[in-house]
Structure 1
Amino acid sequence: MGTRSTSWKKRGWRWVVFAGSVFLGMLLMLALLQRKLIYVPDSRPVELSDALSVCELTEDVKLDVAPGVQLCGWHSRCSPQERASKRLVILFPGNAGNRLKRVSLLEQYHQLNCDTLIFDYRGYGGSAGSPAESDISDDSLKVWDFAIEKLGYQPSQIICSGQSLGGGVATRLAWELSQRKTPPAGLILTATFSSLADAASVHYPWLPVKALLVEKYPSAERIRNVDCPLLVIHGKQDRIVPFELGQRLFEAAPDQVQGIPKTFVELPQAGHNDILHVAAEDVLHAKRAFFQQLGDD
C-alpha cells in the first residue's frame, strides 16, 4: 500500500511540474512574441490605383520619421477644388491590414466634407521598420506636424480619429497635444479599448497579461486630460474589444470640453469589423452631428 501511495505522489508531482512548465512556457511566449500577436500587418506596398473610389482625389505622401524609416500614406481631399474643405481627419487604423482596407472610411469622411490623412504604421503597407507602441506614438506626432507644416492645416481644423488599436494611438496623440496646449479640434474613437491590457485580459483571463505586456496603450488614464470634444462609437456585439471597455473609456473622459458634452453612440447590431457594413448611416449621422457641434473653423 505504501509503495502504491508513493507512486501516485510521484505521478502527481510530475503532472504539477508539467503543468507549471506549460504555464511558464505560455508566459515566456507572451513576453517574447507579444508584438507579433498585437500587430498583424499587411506589409505589401499599396498602389493608389487600387483605391478606385477615391484615387482621383488622393495623392501618395511620404514621411521620414527616423533614419532609414519612411512611412507611406495618402492625403485625400473631399473635393477636387483646392482647399475646399475646412477640416482634416487624421486616421489611425486598427492592428491589421493596411490603408487600402480603410478606403470606406475615406469615402465616409468625404461625404462629411472632410479631407483625410492616413499613414501606415511601421511595417504596414510599404512603410519601413517594425511596429511598437513607443515608435508609433512618436510617429503620430510627426504626422500631426506634417499636416500643419506641409499640408497647411491649423490645429483647430484637425480631428484625430482612431479605430480599435488606432484609438489608443489617437488618444495618446490628443493627450500629448493637450499637454502642449495645442489640442486637436476633436477626437473620434471607434471600437477601441480602455487599455490594451484590459482587452488582452478578456481574451487571456488565465494569464497575468497586465504584468507582462510591454505595449499597454493606457487610454483611460490619458483621456482624463484630453482637452478636446469627444465622440465614442462602439458596437454592442463587439467580441474583440468588448462593448464594456468602450464604456469604461468613455466614462473616464471629461463630461464636456469647450462647452461640448462628450457623446457615446451605441450600435446595437454591430460587431468589431463590420461597423460600416451594419451601421454606416448611424455612424455618418453621429459624425455629422459631432462636426456640427464643433462648428466652422
Structure 2
Amino acid sequence: MASWLKALAYGVGGITGVGLAALVGFQERLVYVPVLPGLSRSYTVTPARLKLNYEDVWIRSSDGVRLHAWFLKHSPPVQGPTILFFQENAGNIAHRLEFVRAMMQRLHCNVFMLSYRGYGASDGSPSQHGITKDAQAALDHLSDRNDVDTSRIVIFGRSLGGAVGSALAWNNPDKVSALILENTFTSILDMAGVMVPFLKWFIGGSESKGPKVLNFLVRSPWRTFDLIGEIKQPILFLSGLQDELVPLSHMRTLYDKATEHNTRCLFVEFPDGMHMDTWVSGGDRYWRSIQLFLDQYVPQIAERELSFKNDHLESGILQ
C-alpha cells in the first residue's frame, strides 16, 4: 500500500513538473498566436479588397522594432473620432477587416490597426513588455498626425487587446479620450486557471484567493484588474454573455473595480454574444451602444463648445 501511494505521489509530482515546465517554456505560444492553424502569417486580404481607403504605416517602437499598421480613413472624410484598434491574441489585423469596415460605416470614424510585434508584417517576437511599447508607438504616431483630431482618439480593445488598451489608456490620460473594452479578462494570471484548472491553486490575480506561489513564472501577466481602477477616462464595457473563452465574471469584475473611482463607465450586455461575434449577434444595439457612448463622452469640437457655453450660461458666467 505504501509503495502504491509513493508511486502515485511520484506520478502526480511528475505530471505537475511537466506541466510547469511546459508553462515556463511555452507560455508565450499559449498567450500569443500570430499564426492560426492552416493559415500563413502574411495578410490574406488587405483593406483594398474591401474597397477601404487606407495607408500602409511603418513605425518603430522605442526599442527599435519595426512595426506595420493600417490607417483606414473614412471616405468621404468626416470629423468623427479616430479609433485605435487592438486585436485579440490570435491571427492578424487582416482577420478583423470585416469588423473594422462595419465600425467605420456605423460610427463614421477613422481606424488605426496595429500589428503587434511578431504579428503580420511586424518584426520581433511578442511579449507584454514589447507590445506595451508597440501600443505606445502607435498612439504617439497618431498624436503627431495633422489629419487626426487628437482630442478624439479612442481605444478599442477586444480580449487581449483590451488588456493592451487598458495599459495604454492608464499611461496616457492626456492623449486618450476614452476606452472601449470587449470581452476582456481581468488578467492572464486568472486566465491560467481557466485554461488549466489545476493552476488556479498556484497562479492568480490580485483579487483571487490562494497562495499564488507561481505567479513569478508568468512573463505576460497583463494585470488589467490592477490598472482599471486607476483609469480616469470614460470606459465602455461590452460583454457577450455566451463568451466561451473568458468567464463572464471577468468583465463584471473589471466594471465594478472601475466604478469605484470613475463615474463615467457604462456596462452593456449582449445575451447571444460569444467571444468573437458579439458585434454580429448584437446587431444594431451593439453599434448604437458605442455611438451613444461616443456622443456622450467624445463629442465633436462644436458640440463641446456648445456644451461649454450652455454650462456657463446656466451658471451665470457668460450672462
Q: Normalising by structure 2, what TM-score?
A: 0.83
Q: Give the secondary structure class of the aligned counterpart of 2:57.
A: strand
State how many pairs are aligned. Answer: 282
In the alignment, does 2:222 pair up with 1:221?
no
Asked if the contact 1:77–1:85 (Cα under 8 Å) also holds between the matched residues in 2, the reply is no
Alpha-carbon shift at residue 275 of structure 1 (Å):
1.3
Return the match for 2:60 from 60, 64, 84: 64
Alpha-carbon shift at residue 256 of structure 1 (Å):
7.2
Cα deviation digits, residues 54-85 of structure 1 (max 9, x gap)? 43x1121111225662111100011143xx23
Cα deviation digits, residues 106-135 of structure 1 (max 9, x gap)? 223212111000111111111111100011
Change (3 A) 1:183 1:134: same
In the alignment, does 2:118 pair up with 1:123?
yes
Asked if the contact 1:85–1:115 (Cα under 8 Å) also holds between the matched residues in 2, the reply is no
Instruction: State how far apart, in whole Å, the 2-side matches of 1:268 and 1:12 are.
Output: 48
- Residues 80-91 of structure 1: matches in 2 within 5 Å? 80-81=76-77, 84-91=78-85
Asked if the contact 2:47–2:54 (Cα under 8 Å) also holds between the matched residues in 1, the reply is no
Asked if the contact 1:54–1:107 (Cα under 8 Å) also holds between the matched residues in 2, the reply is no
Residue in 1 that maps onto 2:249: 244
> Any gaps of 5 or more consecutive residues in structure 1?
1-7
What's the Cα RMSD here?
A: 1.9
Return the match for 1:192 from 161, 176, 184: 184
Return the match for 2:270 from 257, 267, 278: 267
- Residues 1-297 of structure 1: matches in 2 within 5 Å? 8-42=1-35, 44-46=41-43, 49=46, 52-55=49-52, 57-65=53-61, 69-81=65-77, 84-110=78-104, 111-150=106-145, 152-178=147-173, 182-207=174-199, 208-210=202-204, 211=215, 212-254=217-259, 261-294=264-297, 295-297=299-301
Asked if the contact 1:231–1:263 (Cα under 8 Å) also holds between the matched residues in 2, the reply is yes
Asked if the contact 1:183–1:228 (Cα under 8 Å) also holds between the matched residues in 2, the reply is no
Instruction: State how far apart, in whole Å, the 2-side matches of 1:40 and 1:209 are.
Output: 22
Q: Give the secondary structure class of the aligned counterpart of 1:63.
A: strand
Q: Give the secondary structure class of the aligned counterpart of 1:129.
A: coil
Alpha-carbon shift at residue 190 of structure 1 (Å):
0.5
Q: Name the structure with the higher strand share.
A: 1
Instruction: State how far apart, in whole Å, the 1-side matches of 2:41 and 2:107 are.
Output: 30
Change (3 A) 1:240 1:166: same
Alpha-carbon shift at residue 102 of structure 1 (Å):
1.0
Q: Normalising by structure 1, what TM-score?
A: 0.89
Alpha-carbon shift at residue 264 of structure 1 (Å):
0.4
Instruction: State how far apart, in whole Å, the 2-side matches of 1:190 and 1:10 are.
Output: 52
> Any gaps of 5 or more consecutive residues in structure 2?
205-214, 302-319
Instruction: State how far apart, in whole Å, the 1-side matches of 2:139 and 2:63 are.
Output: 19
